[in-house]
Structure 1
Amino acid sequence: MIRTLARRFAAPSQTGRRTFACSAAQGYQSRLAQFYHNTLRDDLTILTYVPPAVRAQRDAADAARVQASKGTSTDGAPNPNRKHRVKVHRAKTPKSTAHNAPCLKSVYVHIRCREAINDKNHILSAMTALQVITGKRAELIKAKTDVATWKLRKGMPIAAKVELRGEEMFEFLDKLFEIVLPRMKEYGGMPMSAGDGNGNFTIGFDESVIGLFPEMEMAYDMFPLVNGFIVNIATSATRNPPARLLLSGLGLPFLHERKPESEAYML
């Protein structure tokens, strides 16, 4: 029986020998990825449904806002109250279907190390810390311009970053939402006003949070310098509300504003 299965899943190689063409790691999915694909995606499809009439109204309002930012009104006359131009980039609301539910695109984790200006060896500590908590080799970032107040010159190492996609992205967010955030004593959640308006969110943490990762607990004392880190989460949503639903379903808490007592029982 075992030989029959081996012959079925084996593939001939160039040397004439037969090697296995499948592996157990190909079908692996993290807990958070399984939850999104099996449960959360269907719920988001229903919660983020936008009727065609509402979608047309949103696109018209965005077009009017872009027209106003160019210094002219909707009828083509110049706007005297507009003294400067502001570029407004807003993608049109896509048609709500079962195939375009909000999903995660990428996660960027980066650390800025100002101490590396005086000693370049400190940047190695930041790169190693990123590699420990993300499981991926960090990329060095160098300064593009000169900053006289910081004594920074062009080409000096100043930060490190890691880009996560696919399963690595889900595994990192699973650790961040389920292990790190509950260990923080004074973290109430992200404000409802967070986000850039296009479905992308940024979370900043100080140097004490990086020691809450399970991989850093045993080796925290080995790092001569520990810095804070910033997490940028990019989603496929074109607006903040669908992206908030996605991140809230994945486990990121949001801080809701409390209503005054006089309005607490008002519907």
Structure 2
Amino acid sequence: MKVYKEKILWDLYYHYNFKNIMQIPYILKISLNSCCGKFFFDKKKINSLFVNINNICNQKPVFAKCKKSISEFKIKKKDNIAIKLTLRKKNMYNFLYKILNLSLPLIKGFEGLPQNSFDDFGNYNFGIKDYSIFPEINSSINDLNFIIGLNISIVFKNSNIEKSFTFLNYLNFPFKDV
């Protein structure tokens, strides 16, 4: 947060020649989502995922419930099928620092994040195939026999694709070289 207020805010202000400081794009929230599709019958694994995501983000996640029953998948109404979490303010910046400086460099063969994962509003979305790259993960033997992906969405305010890309470049986001 300190880096944003002291450096990035003014770099964007002068780069785009904004007339008002309120026009500068900023990160509104970071949303995390993890689906429990392969093991939603196993309460122990779901609780382990819940505790681990709680440890990663220092915030309690929420279970997403199934809206209707689907007999082909053996899912009943109101079963827990995913875990979601929205980070704002201090927790958001702490998570962003953690993922950029501690977790992404630990991925074996990491070449960078794709540059074309922006939507029309300038929000950036990417996924991690295995969430165990975070140092806070409980590494007991029971947890290591399944791999869970994590979808991360960075939502911007007052932005488009070009401004968001510039913002993330000022944060030293590890994009792939095209």
* TM-score, normalization by structure 2: 0.88
Q: Is the Cα–Cα contact under 8 Å of residues 117 and 126 in structure 2 kept in the other structure?
A: no
Match of 1:170 among 93, 96, 104: 93
Distance 1:238 1:40, change over 3 A: closer
| 1:35 has 2:41 as partner | no
Which segment drifts farther, 114-123 or 191-200?
Answer: 114-123
Match of 1:47 among 2, 7, 15: 15
Q: Is the Cα–Cα contact under 8 Å of residues 124 and 155 in structure 2 kept in the other structure?
A: yes
| 1:108 has 2:31 as partner | yes
Q: CA separation in 1, counterparts of 2:111 and 2:162?
A: 19
| 1:213 has 2:124 as partner | no
**Distance apart, 1:148 and its partner CA:** 4.2
| AA in 2 matched with 1:35 | V
**Distance apart, 1:34 and its partner CA:** 0.6
**Distance apart, 1:159 and its partner CA:** 0.9
Distance 1:236 1:152, change over 3 A: same
Distance 1:116 1:240, change over 3 A: same
Which segment drifts farther, 168-177 or 124-133?
Answer: 124-133
Match of 2:157 among 218, 222, 236: 236
How far does the alpha carbon of each residue in 1:219-248 deviate from its partner, in whole angstroms, 9 at most, with x for none? Answer: 222653551111111011431111111122
Q: Alignment partner of 1:214: what SS?
A: coil
Q: Alignment partner of 1:99: what SS?
A: helix
**Distance apart, 1:133 and its partner CA:** 0.6
Q: Is the Cα–Cα contact under 8 Å of residues 130 and 161 in structure 1 kept in the other structure?
A: no
| 1:160 has 2:83 as partner | yes
Residue in 2 aligned with 1:249?
A: 170
**Distance apart, 1:112 and its partner CA:** 0.7
Q: Larger RCO: Structure 1 or Structure 2 (Cα < 8 Å, ≥ 6 residues apart)?
A: 2
| AA in 2 matched with 1:249 | Y
Q: CA separation in 2, counterparts of 1:175 and 1:190?
A: 16
Q: Alignment partner of 1:185: what SS?
A: coil
Q: CA separation in 1, counterparts of 2:150 and 2:142?
A: 15
Q: Is the Cα–Cα contact under 8 Å of residues 180 and 212 in structure 1 kept in the other structure?
A: yes
Aligned pairs for 1:1-267 within 5 A: 33-49=1-17, 96-207=19-130, 210-216=131-137, 219-221=138-140, 224=143, 225-257=146-178
Which segment drifts farther, 136-145 or 162-171?
Answer: 136-145
Q: CA separation in 2, counterparts of 1:117 and 1:177?
A: 30
Q: CA separation in 1, counterparts of 2:153 and 2:159?
A: 16
**Distance apart, 1:47 and its partner CA:** 2.1
Question: Which consecutive unaligned segments of at least 5 residues does structure 1 have?
Answer: 1-32, 50-94, 258-267
User: Highest CA radius of gyration, 1 or 2?
Assistant: 1
Q: Is the Cα–Cα contact under 8 Å of residues 53 and 61 in structure 2 kept in the other structure?
A: yes
Instruction: Count the aligned residue pairs.
Output: 176
CA-based RMSD: 1.9
Q: CA separation in 1, counterparts of 2:172 and 2:76?
A: 41
Q: Alignment partner of 1:36: what SS?
A: helix
Distance 1:145 1:40, change over 3 A: same
Q: Is the Cα–Cα contact under 8 Å of residues 106 and 169 in structure 1 kept in the other structure?
A: yes
Q: CA separation in 1, counterparts of 2:171 and 2:141?
A: 32
Q: Is the Cα–Cα contact under 8 Å of residues 123 and 153 in structure 2 kept in the other structure?
A: yes
**Distance apart, 1:149 and its partner CA:** 3.9
